[in-house]
Structure 1
Amino acid sequence: MRQSRRLFALLSALALVASLTAACGGSDDSGGGNGLEKKTVTVAALPLVDSAAVYIAQKEKLFQKEGLTVKIKPIAQSTLALPALSKGEVDVISGANYVSFLQANEKGALKLSILAEGTTMTSHMMDVLVMPKSSIKAPKDLEGKKVAVNILNNIQSLTLDAILKANNVDPSKVKYVQVPFPQMATALEKGQVDAIHTVEPFSSDTEKKLGARVAVDGGTEPITDTPISGYVSTQDFVKKNPKTAAAFQRAIIAAQKIAAGDRKRVEEVLPSYSKIDAQVAKVITMPGYSTSLNATRMQRIVDLMSTEKLLQQKPDMKTILFQPTS
């Protein structure tokens, strides 16, 4: 009888521990009581204004509200995180330029899923800068010159080529040179390139430190309001973790709305993840922050890429844009 009572007491204790563990969600990465398949999400983020929403969401505890823990890993170029994304070592890339990832999707390097839109082009959000005494003053003057871009055959050359054509300039006469954003100012100052096609917050910082001036507004027509970057993942991730993906999407869209409605909130987070000081953050040109995932708007970048032959076929955006089932 004593053994039976001891056994009963032991089983009751084990049952109590099990119930408490279940209530607390356990120690693994499962979603626990909130129904998420995965509660820890790793995000690779660029040090650009494009990534502001992920830092706003972190600061305002919007991820926490959705039951998510987000780990942010800074990266210099979104394409550097592509292998990690394909292997599942990174779940989401923030500030990912659509050109690289739509191309990777077409080539089969990954099956792309876009969780949320990030930024759209605005006037002077991306600019072609030159040194103060440069003879380059208009798009036509770029012919025969070296222009630095972050990644070759990508969003910068794509949009600048469209602007050049609109100004009757032959893009083939411009020599693009790959230089990472943080190194562009040095390359310009040393004369390694004639101009740099840079983006905020680097453009305002370069203007301030070098006295560089704008030769070409990189956000003018015909590419104004074109989607340029967003929050990308893989179809494998969203299929295995649909509730987690939906929770991340809700948090980011909420943060995008904050960024779109109050630039001071962007100014507050910028110095925390970029090398831009608070004073420069106050004067930079902001991109457009999209507050929804819109297929019609996204089609603009696809059409532009197709026109410039950066895509052989137009992808089915319905399979690429993540839409929660509930």
Structure 2
Amino acid sequence: MQRRILGLAAVVITVVGAAGCGSSDSGSSDSSPAGDSKTTQVKVGIIPIVDVAPLYLGQKKGFFSSRGIELEMVSAQGGAAIIPGVVSDQFQFGFSNTTSLMIAQVKGVPVKSVVNGAASNGKVGADVTGVAVKKDSSIKSAKDLAGQTVAVNTLQNIGDTTVRESVRQAGGDPSKVKFVEIPFDQMPAALDDGRVDAAWMGEPATTIAKGQGARVVASPFAETDPKLTVATYFTSTKLAQQNPDLVKKFTAAMTESLQYASDHPDEARQVLTTYTKISGDVLKNLTLPSWPAEIDMASLEKLASLGEKDGLFGDKKPDLDALFS
């Protein structure tokens, strides 16, 4: 069900199964003026993963409807579909990991982040993503990943960039890690079958793999930066310029949703059952990300620097102030 949570070719990353791309009708009416005398229909391109729980929770709590916004969440295969969908007005807003947005920007794609989405919880060994190995693997730390085959959901994106940083910090040679692309939902089986030596997983794949005896040997997000801003909600620069009132209302509603999810993690966990098939012990045990209202620019500067080191941006550098502030 979840394919890649983070990639430009996925949400960046990432992607989860339910691949409906939404209807062809525009679904967006003009934003109402400050009296909210009418409702604005807003489509948001998402991947149905743990990270977007605050969006669904905010819809349930009325944070969007109270601002005259009627939400429709449209599941897509990740950034490859979400970013073009936002730029072409199929969606008014989308969810993407931050590396994918940087890659899009340097390629000239007119996008702008409007509000935070998800962040590392900062807990090494218990973060929202981790590199897992089989119980009997000789790999004991990130340093040992050098010379091994590691699965990531999307190549040349936030996964392999942060895994390399974990290897680097542990004293290993990041250039000697061999990355292969496997959807998140297929990683537990690939690891268990020995098709890869290790797998960088998001939830619920990590919890499923642990249930099969896997061990987490690295937490790339937390090790890159304990406050790493992993994903944000974004819009097209055209919509931001033409309908700033709608962007302002969406941002305010999403900010309230992030705060509520942070304050009520049990409700955030439970809302997962409304848009995913996660249930039972997996639902109870999976690790939640952090949902701060504010983007952490210092962490994005570090992520961009690592992306440059990995050659993700060609000969350009992302303009983080234009993209995220």
Q: Same fold (TM over 0.5)?
A: yes
- 1-structure distance, mates of 2:196, 2:296: 38
Q: Please state how far the C-alpha of 1:212 moved relative to its aligned partner.
A: 1.7
Q: Please state how far the C-alpha of 1:273 moved relative to its aligned partner.
A: 1.9
- 2-structure distance, mates of 1:206, 1:229: 24
Q: Is the 8 A contact 2:28 2:92 kept in 1?
A: no
Q: Is the 8 A contact 2:150 2:196 kept in 1?
A: yes
- Residue in structure 2 matching 1:186, options 185, 189, 213: 189
Secondary structure in structure 2 of the residue aligned to 1:302: helix
- Residue in structure 1 matching 2:323, options 300, 320, 323: 320
Q: Give me the TM-score of the superposition, normalised by structure 2.
A: 0.82
Secondary structure in structure 1 of the residue aligned to 2:112: strand
Counterpart position of 1:233: 235
Counterpart position of 2:117: 118
Q: Is the 8 A contact 1:129 1:212 kept in 2?
A: yes
Q: Aligned pair in 2 of structure 1 residues 131, 258: CA closer, same or farther (>3 Å)? A: same
- 1-structure distance, mates of 2:162, 2:28: 45
Letter in 2 for 1:73: V
Letter in 2 for 1:198: M
Q: Write the deviation string for residues 3-61 of structure 1: whole angstroms up to 9, x where unpaired.
A: xxxxxxxxxxxxxxxxxxxxxxxx98233454679811111112222211111111111
Further displaced range: 62-71 or 256-265: 256-265
Q: Give me the TM-score of the superposition, normalised by structure 1.
A: 0.82
- 2-structure distance, mates of 1:162, 1:172: 10
Secondary structure in structure 2 of the residue aligned to 1:287: coil
Q: Is the 8 A contact 2:229 2:296 kept in 1?
A: no
- 2-structure distance, mates of 1:278, 1:55: 20
1:159 aligns with 2:159: no
Q: Which runs of 5+ in 2 are unaligned?
A: 1-26
Counterpart position of 1:213: 215
Higher fraction of helix: 1
- Residue in structure 1 matching 2:146, options 143, 148, 173: 143
Letter in 2 for 1:112: V
Q: Which runs of 5+ in 1 are unaligned?
A: 1-26
Counterpart position of 2:257: 255
- 1-structure distance, mates of 2:33, 2:217: 56
Q: Please state how far the C-alpha of 1:257 moved relative to its aligned partner.
A: 0.4
Counterpart position of 1:107: 107
Q: Is the 8 A contact 1:188 1:194 kept in 2?
A: yes
- 2-structure distance, mates of 1:198, 1:191: 16
Letter in 1 for 2:118: T
Q: Write the deviation string for residues 130-175 of structure 1: whole angstroms up to 9, x where unpaired.
A: 2222222222322222111111011111111111111111112111
Q: Aligned pair in 2 of structure 1 residues 184, 42: CA closer, same or farther (>3 Å)? A: same
Counterpart position of 1:61: 62
Q: Please state how far the C-alpha of 1:235 moved relative to its aligned partner.
A: 0.5
Counterpart position of 2:273: 271
Q: Aligned pair in 2 of structure 1 residues 300, 216: CA closer, same or farther (>3 Å)? A: closer
Q: Is the 8 A contact 1:45 1:74 kept in 2?
A: yes
Secondary structure in structure 1 of the residue aligned to 2:72: strand
Q: CA RMSD in A?
A: 2.3
Q: Aligned pair in 2 of structure 1 residues 245, 194: CA closer, same or farther (>3 Å)? A: same
Q: Please state how far the C-alpha of 1:290 moved relative to its aligned partner.
A: 1.8
Secondary structure in structure 1 of the residue aligned to 2:209: helix
The sequence identity of aligned pairs, in percent, is 28
Counterpart position of 1:52: 53
- 2-structure distance, mates of 1:104, 1:222: 22
